Amino acid sequence: MISEDGYPTPETLYKIISFDPYSGNLDEFVKYIINNWVNGYPAEFDSETRILKLSTGGWSGCESVIGALQDNKVFWMLFWYSTTRGGNYEFRNLVDKRVSK
């Protein structure tokens, strides 16, 4: 959720930090990130290549979301691909990491 002033709520940031890529629904999580990405440049997700691109545009609310993603060590380790100047982040190979039985 986003507050009245356009910032992610503490509950939103907690949900991002606590998401487990091994047991959670990754597609729903990506949708959640996109739905809570406001005031930066529009989030881009390519469902074929499984690449998510986020650009903060310097907006502190978006920087908070990026900080929460960084605090989610497993997500960051598995999917972060690059960061470039200007607050541009790319996440790749966004597929379920659950082991098939």
pLDDT band at 98 (very low <50, low <70, confident <90, very high): low
Could you tell me the residue range of the domain that residue 65 belongs to? 10-91
pLDDT of residue 38: 85
Q: What is the mean pLDDT of residues 34-63?
A: 92
Q: What is the mean pLDDT of residues 69-74?
A: 98
pLDDT of residue 5: 81
How many angstroms separate the Cα of 74 from the Cα of each of 3, 17, 79, 92? 27, 10, 9, 14
Residue 97 lies in a domain: no
The total number of structural domains in the chain stands at 1
Residue 101 lies in a domain: no
pLDDT band at 4 (very low <50, low <70, confident <90, very high): confident
Residue 47 lies in a domain: yes
pLDDT band at 101 (very low <50, low <70, confident <90, very high): very low
Residue 98 lies in a domain: no
Q: Give the side-chain half-sphere CA count within 13 A for 10.
A: 0
H helix or E strand, kind and range, residue 86 = none
Residue 53 lies in a domain: yes
- Taking the model in full, what pTM does it have? 0.90
Residue 17 lies in a domain: yes
Residue 4 lies in a domain: no
Q: What is the mean pLDDT of residues 61-87?
A: 96
Gap between the Cα atoms of 81 and 52, Å rounded:
10
Residue 89 bridge partners (DSSP)? 54, 83
Residue 57 lies in a domain: yes
pLDDT band at 100 (very low <50, low <70, confident <90, very high): very low
